[in-house]
């Protein structure tokens, strides 16, 4: 994948900030965005659990690790954790986590669908944490 068109951003991040309140149409803030992050994990972590915690992604997200679909999540206002242990390469190998964020109104995700009096901004709206823990954890 050619990543030259990707923009370097900081998390949290709104994928679109509106600068005017007049003449707004939904195409200005409802679309699909992609986020990617490269990382490596030392061999010391090979017998650990590797979990990514998303504190808020709006509104519908699909999570991929090294090109493999792992899970999806509906809703911008709840955190969720993704166990990516089985998808990781250890040592000097490059890993890529990709997040597809759909910020369009969806009837299956309340309270959206133009039923609220504010605009929904897509993106990774809160922090993302990488958690390394024992194989058995609570």
- What is the value of pTM for the model shown? 0.85
Q: Which residue has the tokens 């390394």?
A: 132
Residue 113 maps to a domain: yes
- Residues 92-112 pLDDT 10s: 999 999 999 998 877 777 665
What is the DSSP code string of 94-112?
A: -EEEEEEEE-S--TTSTTT
- pLDDT at site 25: 55
Do 79 and 58 form a contact (C-beta atoms < 8 A)? Answer: no
Residue 11 maps to a domain: no
CA distances to 33, 43, 104, 122, 137 from 59, rounded to whole Å, are: 11, 35, 7, 6, 29
**How many domains, the chain?**
1
- Over range 33-43, report the average pLDDT: 95
- pLDDT at site 116: 59
Residue 118, C-beta contacts closer than 8 angstroms, at least 6 positions apart: none
Residue 4 maps to a domain: no
- pLDDT at site 130: 97
């Amino acid at each position: 994948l050619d990543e030259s068109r990707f923009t370097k951003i900081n998390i949290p991040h709104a994928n679109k900030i509106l600068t005017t309140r007049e003449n707004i149409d939904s195409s200005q803030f409802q679309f699909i965005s992609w986020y990617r992050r490269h990382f490596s994990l030392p061999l010391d972590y090979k017998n650990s659990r590797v979990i990514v915690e998303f504190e808020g992604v709006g509104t519908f997200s699909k999570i991929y690790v090294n090109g493999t679909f792992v899970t999806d999540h509906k809703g911008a206002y709840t955190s969720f954790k993704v166990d990516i242990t089985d998808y990781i390469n250890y040592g000097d190998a490059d890993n890529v986590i990709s997040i597809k964020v759909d910020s369009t109104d969806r009837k299956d995700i309340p309270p959206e669908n133009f039923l609220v009096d504010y605009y929904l901004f897509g993106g990774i709206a809160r922090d993302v944490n990488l958690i390394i823990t024992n194989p058995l954890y609570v």
